Structure 1
């Protein structure tokens, strides 16, 4: 769906994007993650032909961009740097204008009206009234921008911070919608600095920092096993006595144990045989939070936006810095 080779963008002496190779497979939910100011939006704009690369090659839907961008735009839905709209017009009027002037330019007024109503319903604005967009909340504007991105029924959806301004209920609705679209065949490319958003939605993650791509891999591989086991028990004292020096960490009713021969089944049997009750025993996995913090360094916006990640994850990340096999 998207391939870039050595893409670089300079603004004078400032390098906004530095030698980036992206690999976005058809059908993926790709999370493009990094601190604010790391080059995400510049990269997204180059993918859409809105900004020209200083050097490098970009292919979207098998065609070079920007040389043949007009051929691929009808199959792309996009929302970049927030939703754009005429503030004095209603949401419906804005979508009608966008549809009429869009790359597919359907002349059938009834079909256009039906399409507008369909996308408004899908983003939760089906009951919208005739208020002008300037009276909308930020969350409503985000929903309207997403509706505009869906008008073409795109094969590829490119979104930059799509949940900005939404409350938790709205974030979940957007996430569910993107899952639904992806299940129906739409490839989703989502740029964000929010770890929780990427971890909850995406199948593949690319991490950019200071303009460079520092990680690209399947999310399951990124969140691989740490080599430790997590034991949950109502009697942590008994478990600690049985496990002895193998206990690496202890948190209330949870113990983190250095890897045991035979894995979880063998350790579970050992504990039960010694009379230790168990609530659960699983492999510990790395969190996306720790991976990104290690890769982007201290003080970044990504580090400050750490949300809802597994804080017990290990920090050894050398094995996660391999490219996705495409």
Structure 2
């Protein structure tokens, strides 16, 4: 992790301050940017989202899907957490905290929008930063790569139906045309473009050419993320200044969801006898979110000034420090993990 990435939370916080300040001081500028739309897609944001996502997707080698069977227990557990537990548990937490416990403290007209943002945030598993988390836990690299590649493939077909289902259960109107457009624009097309670029680079210059391009694109990706946050919080400026507690309240269900899902994945891996080098990244992939996609989808579906957009950005704000705490827990508990009966039995079978 570079110095810039290590302090990502600091930069996010500074962008929030800058965005809120500029939005409050120069509302006309941000209204003009918001008007640059085609088919409900904001053009400046679409460009920024592509700059964020493409470098991350170029790293993914879909040929790694052939290695899925090597760590089938960890793969199965992570898929179960990502697609059968995480979106639904977040919806439940959103209804509980935002729709009930915190309702008197939040703007009444944004309650449904906040819940929608939380659902969108949880519906897409992380595809980029998990490589960093896996490395910090000494995770099995082939497992991490194959799991991320599989999640990306599933996301193409599962993201829209899951989001649509949970928004419908929340009695939130689902703009299906915009949702499908978001999937095509922010998942399908970037995946195709990234894989074409990857294939061309590997064919012409090998791994070295790929690494050289990523060194150029990675900083641009982070700058695009931070620029998007400035724009987003610029549109939210007046609302945030009027109600500063909103961010803190939205963080509560996100924090609970991260620790619940990472803990569940970790314990299930231990119960099935999976090695710690697989259980660590499994827990981290099971808990983290593809917040770049979530921010883009929330903006497309509900607009810059919506509570949904704000809820997804809160996920960005707390992602790094919370995931680093999960890394610490996974590393510190390795000895305990490996004393599990199933883990010891599996290790004995492997040696035999």
Query: Quick check: which has more Rg, 1 or 2?
Result: 1
Structure number with the higher helix fraction is 2
Tell me whether the two structures share a fold, i.e. TM-score over 0.5: no
Q: TM-score, normalised by structure 2?
A: 0.23
Which structure has more relative contact order (CA 8 Å, sep 6+)? It is 2
